[in-house]
Structure 1
Amino acid sequence: MKEERQLHTTLDQPAGVKKTSIIGPGLIVAATGVGAGDLVAALVAGTNYGLVFLWAIMIGAILKFVLNEGVGRWHLISGKTILEGWHLMGKWATGYFGVYSVIWGFVYGAAGTASCALAASALFPQLSLTAWAIIHGILGLVLVWSGQYKRFEHVMNILIGIMFITVVGAAILVLPQLGDVMGTAVPALPKGSLIYALGLIGGVGGSLTMASYGYWLEENKWKGSSFLSAVRYDSAVAYFVTALFTISLLVLGAGLLFGTDVTISGEKGLVDFAGILGNELHPAVRYLFLVGFWAASFTSVLGVWNGVPYLFADFIRTVRHQRIPNEELSKSKAYRFYVLWLTFPPMLLHIIGKPVALIIAYGALGAIFMPFLAITLLYLLNKKKYVGAIDRGQKWSNVGLAVSILLFIVLAVNELMNLF
């Protein structure tokens, strides 16, 4: 009987992994993908449509779970990184990522720190937006430069806790004011809102850093198919929390602004909304929300500063055929070069503004990354020569990936049409 219990434990959960430790890498991926733009989108949805789009947030969380689980499963079953998988598909896939990562890193280095600066400046207006942006970029560099993943993970968990407690806490305070708005919770698709709804689905915790998940699994020593259940649990918890966070923002917009003439526009609108919270509830709630806004912005920056350099370092290792172990990537020259690339060149954009041509190129490349990720995962996870016997759950994964591909292609086409 004792031996049977030991065998059962081994099958359910990898040796040496505590239940509480199976909450970590996925939550970091999801939190990194939730930036100021997602906060704005959810608030605007609540302001314009009440609680109608609860269904869109939940579908978005499910699809991101499928993508995140797919990235993790590829790493565990194939024993290869996602960059190595792309390279197996041809030089076109590796080349696309190389070009995209350089342009994306330059522009995001400015955009991400600018979002942090907006929140920090609202809390402490003594410093300018440019000064706060530079401070956050350098702070991100300092926290990841040594390559100590556990320190990064600890800081991220603290920030995630702050953003969750502050925003969800504010939403709980607003619940009594929902009143008749509760009647809008019936799933529907108001006229002219299809693209908006698809955008809300596509924005629930999704970004380039989803491809970094495998490297964070490596840092946690999660290797081999025995960790599949752990990855699924981890991803499920991560996107459940993300959905709850996004729904809280929907509730805030619906509870305070639905049916009014007030509009939320851009990241500056988050600062304005914090003022509305302060007036409607209590001045302290204004600061509560601004702290949550800052934490959400800085988790995105810090997650990118740590996660995307893994991808770039792996890209350099792959194209140069270098023999650098996965666990040494965070200490490689290529990793540190990309951290510097995220931090210092984008500072110029805070001073001279964002050149139109660069923004167009960034938007065009960025619009097709998520469908690129979904398409490549669908291909790689169904090739027996890479993953061996196809997992029984692959059928449902294929359905989720196929739906994701259709969704992201529609969003990509819409984005490109808006750009050009």
Structure 2
Amino acid sequence: MLKLSNFGPGALVAAAFIGPGTVVTASLAGANFGYALLWALLFSVVACVILQEMSARIGLVTQAGLGENIRNNLTSGWLRWLALLLIFSAIAIGNSVYQGGNLSGASLGASELLGPVPVLDVWLSNAWALIIGIIALLILWSGNARVIERALIVMVLLMSVAFIGTFLLTDPDWGAVFNGTFGFSMPTGATLTVVALIGTTVVPYNIFLHASSVSKKWKTAEELPAARRDLFLSIPFGGLISMAIVATAASAFFGQQVEIESAGDLAESLRPLFGDGATYLMAIGLFAAGISSATTAPLASAYALCGIMGWSVNLRSRAFRIIWFTILVIGIIISSVGIKPVTVIWFAQVANGILLPIIVGFLWWLCQSPLLGKYRNSLLQNILAAIIFLISVVLSGRSLGSAFGFW
């Protein structure tokens, strides 16, 4: 029998990958290509489950996060420090910048639901970012893994009600939904959108987050079935939410001349078509997506950076709190005062583009090493890991190409 207490790490991953960026990417996919690219999200969920299952095994068997395992098992001095420097740069800088986007997305939902913030809006261009950042700070400062997990499970459930409810209000074409999900279609000009949809689900820092959180929730390798139940339910459920966003945009905007540059545009554009109910549901979903990502991004960064530097990964340790607090504060500043750090975002894009195949490669390497004993990858798992590694190289190429202006 499934109990709520058995869940958590998988829900953290789902909460992390459904952020404002995912809402925008999925909305553009639906508005521009209709239901045709739903299969890309189905595929990305399968890929995510494969990677996160390997991450869970590492965390459970070694009782340590991915960062600690990379640090302890890379014996070559220069290679070790190069890898640590790259991971540190990509996660510290990248997540700080993306944190600003997470808070901005949550703010759009909050302002749509509740309006401007009295007094603070006089001083700040986005006062809701400060308030939401404080909420994320209080959740993380508790230092209680169960509190953090429960808060994020609530956010995932809120997103599911909001985004799936909005999807149902738009009266979708169910035949087209089925064909788009289980048929392989690549409309002209859709290649980069497909890669972007996969990239919003297969995220490097989630691999660190999952391994560390699993090692704290379960203490013996015999509990692997429980960890698998958690991720096999939570991650596909998160994927279903992303697919609902694509289908909502497809139902509402495909074939029409509608400009969608932000998730807020999507929420507001639904009003004349489907009334206030759809707009408010989308705003609730956007708020939940933003605040969940705003909580998980600093948490994942702290796990990853403390792990690779050899510092304590205790949720209440000084180093752990300093890292997530710094990333959260930088995100609040970026969002609340309207900073657009183009150069830093460019660097983060380059670093993350390089990081993704490296992290997938480390994950694959560790899962077929003697470190895991009888829990090493099977032949099938190695084949699947090889396929995902090749996909990560493609995603990396896309990210780097976009950063340097090739695409």
Please confirm whether the aligned pair reaches a TM-score higher than 0.5, indicating the same fold. yes
CA distances 1:23-57 after superposition (whole Å, capped 9, x unpaired): 32102212211111111221222222221112111
* Mapped contact 2:298–2:325 kept (Cα < 8 A): no
* Mapped contact 1:105–1:341 kept (Cα < 8 A): no
Q: Percent identity among equivalent residues?
A: 24
2:211 is the counterpart of 1:214: yes
Amino acid at match of 2:231: S
1:69 aligns with 53
SS at match of 1:203: helix
* Mapped contact 1:144–1:306 kept (Cα < 8 A): yes
Task: Quote the offset at 1:200 in angstroms.
Answer: 1.3
Which of 399, 402, 407 is matched with 2:383 structurally? Answer: 399
Matches within 5 A, 1:295-374: 295-316=288-309, 318=310, 324=312, 329-350=314-335, 351=337, 353-374=339-360
Residue 205 to residue 405, structure 1, CA distance change in 2 (3 Å): closer
SS at match of 1:344: helix
Task: Quote the offset at 1:162 in angstroms.
Answer: 0.8
Uncovered stretches (5+) of structure 1, i.e. residues with no partner: 1-16
Which of 362, 378, 381 is matched with 2:364 structurally? Answer: 378
Residue 50 to residue 210, structure 1, CA distance change in 2 (3 Å): same
Amino acid at match of 1:110: G
2:36 aligns with 52
2:36 is the counterpart of 1:41: no
Which of 152, 160, 164 is matched with 2:160 structurally? Answer: 164
Matches within 5 A, 1:138-153: 138-153=134-149
The whole-number CA distance in structure 2 between the counterparts of 1:145 and 1:390 is 35
TM superposition score normalised by structure 1: 0.86
Residue 52 to residue 109, structure 1, CA distance change in 2 (3 Å): closer
Task: Quote the offset at 1:205 in angstroms.
Answer: 6.0
The whole-number CA distance in structure 2 between the counterparts of 1:36 and 1:23 is 24
The whole-number CA distance in structure 1 between the counterparts of 2:316 and 2:102 is 24
The whole-number CA distance in structure 1 between the counterparts of 2:331 and 2:169 is 39
Residue 399 to residue 264, structure 1, CA distance change in 2 (3 Å): farther
CA distances 1:325-377 after superposition (whole Å, capped 9, x unpaired): x5xx1111111111221232444434372343322211111222322221111
2:113 aligns with 123
Q: Which moved more, 1:105-114 or 1:50-59?
A: 105-114
2:89 aligns with 99
SS at match of 1:251: helix
Matches within 5 A, 1:178-217: 178=173, 181=176, 185=180, 186-204=183-201, 206-217=203-214
CA distances 1:384-408 after superposition (whole Å, capped 9, x unpaired): 1x122354x6323222322222222
The whole-number CA distance in structure 1 between the counterparts of 2:174 and 2:297 is 40
Residue 356 to residue 173, structure 1, CA distance change in 2 (3 Å): closer
2:226 is the counterpart of 1:225: no
SS at match of 1:261: coil
Task: Quote the offset at 1:165 in angstroms.
Answer: 0.6
SS at match of 1:263: coil
1:29 aligns with 13
The whole-number CA distance in structure 2 between the counterparts of 1:414 and 1:119 is 30
2:239 aligns with 243
TM superposition score normalised by structure 2: 0.88
The whole-number CA distance in structure 1 between the counterparts of 2:327 and 2:318 is 14
* Mapped contact 1:33–1:207 kept (Cα < 8 A): no
2:104 aligns with 114
CA distances 1:262-286 after superposition (whole Å, capped 9, x unpaired): 2322x2xx22222232222231221
Larger radius of gyration: 1
The whole-number CA distance in structure 2 between the counterparts of 1:184 and 1:62 is 18
Residue 194 to residue 74, structure 1, CA distance change in 2 (3 Å): same
Q: Cα RMSD (Å) of the superposition?
A: 2.3
The whole-number CA distance in structure 1 between the counterparts of 2:8 and 2:257 is 41
* Mapped contact 2:92–2:327 kept (Cα < 8 A): no
Q: Which moved more, 1:65-74 or 1:254-263?
A: 254-263
* Mapped contact 1:171–1:252 kept (Cα < 8 A): yes
Amino acid at match of 1:103: I
Residue 200 to residue 147, structure 1, CA distance change in 2 (3 Å): same
* Mapped contact 1:109–1:137 kept (Cα < 8 A): no
2:77 aligns with none
The whole-number CA distance in structure 2 between the counterparts of 1:341 and 1:183 is 44
1:416 aligns with 400
Uncovered stretches (5+) of structure 2, i.e. residues with no partner: 75-79
Task: Quote the offset at 1:382 in angstroms.
Answer: 1.0
* Mapped contact 1:74–1:80 kept (Cα < 8 A): yes
Runs of 4 or more above 6 Å deviation? none
2:283 aligns with 290
Q: Which moved more, 1:114-123 or 1:237-246?
A: 114-123
CA distances 1:132-187 after superposition (whole Å, capped 9, x unpaired): 11222222112211311222122112111111111101112223x52785586342
2:268 aligns with 275
The whole-number CA distance in structure 2 between the counterparts of 1:357 and 1:416 is 14
Task: Quote the offset at 1:67 in angstroms.
Answer: 0.9
* Mapped contact 1:110–1:349 kept (Cα < 8 A): yes
Amino acid at match of 2:162: T
